[in-house]
């Protein structure tokens, strides 16, 4: 087997906290991890959580289909263009030091995405961006009939996403349960946190001074993300594969109409104010991130950038202008003046 001891050790760190009573606020089911490789000969249980064990066993026998295999759609030409734009923006040093991760997914033909992956599997602190994990966890629980999508819940979800309310995010994380959110990210259906790809979306703490549940097992982050896993989230959303097609549309509606006009939004407003944006960003100290699904002029693309630098906030506007211009085959330099 090619499974590494390091992977097993990382997974083992999750296990003691993943068992829960049926009346636990975080739910009764454990996170579901996947096994993409051939069936193993080992049959002894390896997880305390029985649901996690069942999902592991099923995935071992018949691996769940990856509905967002973006790593398989790497486009070297597109990647070279993105690297060229980052060079012009004098950001290659940040790329080399793994302080900047950028992913661009051109999905005008959603069945044949074109992917540029620059440090896409580098996991960084992402502040409010992982609130999209709470959003998905909420709709999974709604689909199970364990949470009502009433007016209050919908308002909290919109406030959490559109104005990035920490109060709303904390309330929703407690309603859904952080263990349940982790379980959803780890599930073989989504694999949005995947140790084989260096992690991904993780919410291990309330968006408040207190409320720590568990930091992610690979990087010790309370709110983390990788650019590729965020891009996969938007791809699953666009293809109707988050929960159900109807709930994907509802989640997409909640991600629309961003109220905070900075970073990607400020850049895209200069390029084309009529573009439809579905977006979530995050900022804390030197960590700045943004993510967006853009639809305009009959085309669509996903862009994600995660950065760690005192200057990172001002990088993101120029980055999205350059990525948009790459998608549409236009010169992007003229659009950079005044972008912040």
Residue 306 maps to a domain = yes
pLDDT given for residue 54 in this prediction: 73
User: How many domains does the structure of the chain reveal?
Assistant: 1
Residue 203 maps to a domain = yes
Beta bridge partners of 305: 102, 290
Task: Reduce the DSSP state of residue 31 to 3 states and report it.
Answer: coil
Strands 223-226 and 123-125: antiparallel
Residue 74 maps to a domain = yes
d(CA 125, CA 120): 14
Residue 18 maps to a domain = no
C-alpha distances in angstroms, 44 versus 53, 137, 221? 10, 30, 31
pLDDT given for residue 52 in this prediction: 57
Phi, psi of 62 (to 5 degrees): -140, 90
Mean pLDDT per 10-residue run, the chain (340 residues)? 44 41 36 43 55 68 89 98 97 98 97 98 98 98 96 98 98 96 91 93 97 93 98 98 98 97 95 96 98 96 98 96 94 51
Residue 27 maps to a domain = no
Its pTM stands at 0.85
Residue 35 maps to a domain = no
Which structural domain, as residue segments, surrounds residue 293? Answer: 68-335
pLDDT given for residue 310 in this prediction: 95
Q: 3-class secondary structure for 111-150?
A: CCCEEEEECCCCEEECCCCCHHHHHHHHHHHHHCCCCCCC
CATH of the domain at 101: 3.40.710.10
Task: Reduce the DSSP state of residue 210 to 3 states and report it.
Answer: coil
Q: Quote the DSSP letter at residue 61.
A: H
pLDDT given for residue 340 in this prediction: 52
Q: If you count them, how many residues does the chain have?
A: 340
d(CA 75, CA 81): 10
Q: Looking up tokens 């999508």, which residue turns up?
A: 149
pLDDT given for residue 31 in this prediction: 39
Task: Reduce the DSSP state of residue 238 to 3 states and report it.
Answer: helix
Task: Reduce the DSSP state of residue 19 to 3 states and report it.
Answer: coil
pLDDT given for residue 327 in this prediction: 96
Residue 118 maps to a domain = yes
Q: 3-class secondary structure for 279-306?
A: EEEEEECCEEEEEEEEEECCEEEEEEEE
CA proximity to 230, closest of 139, 324, 105: 105
Residue 51 maps to a domain = no
Task: Reduce the DSSP state of residue 206 to 3 states and report it.
Answer: coil
């Amino acid at each position: 087997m090619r499974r590494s001891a390091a992977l097993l050790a990382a997974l083992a760190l999750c296990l003691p906290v993943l068992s829960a009573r049926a009346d636990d606020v975080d739910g009764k089911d454990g996170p579901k991890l996947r096994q993409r490789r051939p069936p193993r000969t080992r049959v002894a249980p390896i997880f305390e959580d029985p649901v996690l064990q069942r999902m592991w066993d099923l995935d071992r026998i018949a691996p769940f289909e990856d509905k967002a295999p973006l790593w398989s759609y790497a486009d070297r030409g597109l990647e070279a263009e993105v690297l060229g734009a980052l060079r012009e923006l004098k950001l290659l040093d940040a790329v080399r030091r793994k302080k900047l991760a950028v992913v661009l997914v051109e999905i005008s033909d959603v069945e044949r995405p074109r992917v540029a992956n620059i440090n896409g599997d580098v996991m960084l602190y992402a502040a409010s961006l992982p609130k999209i994990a709470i959003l998905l966890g909420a709709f999974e629980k709604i689909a199970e009939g364990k949470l009502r999508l009433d007016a209050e819940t919908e308002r909290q979800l919109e406030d959490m996403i559109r104005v990035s309310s920490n109060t709303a995010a904390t309330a929703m994380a407690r309603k859904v349960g952080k263990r349940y959110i982790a379980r959803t990210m780890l599930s073989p259906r989504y694999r949005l946190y995947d140790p084989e790809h260096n992690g991904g979306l993780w919410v291990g703490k309330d968006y408040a001074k207190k409320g720590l549940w568990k930091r992610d097992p690979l990087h010790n982050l309370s709110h983390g993300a990788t650019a590729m896993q965020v891009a996969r989230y938007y791809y699953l959303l666009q293809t109707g594969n988050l929960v159900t097609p109807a709930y994907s549309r509802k989640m997409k509606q909640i991600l629309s109409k961003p109220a905070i006009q900075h970073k990607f939004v400020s850049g895209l407003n200069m390029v084309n104010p009529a573009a439809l944006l579905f977006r979530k960003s995050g900022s804390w100290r030197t960590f700045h991130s943004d993510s967006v699904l853009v639809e305009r002029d009959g085309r669509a693309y996903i862009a994600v950038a995660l950065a760690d630098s005192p200057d990172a906030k001002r990088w993101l506007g120029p980055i999205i202008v350059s990525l948009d211009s790459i998608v549409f085959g236009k010169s992007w330099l003229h659009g950079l003046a005044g972008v912040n």
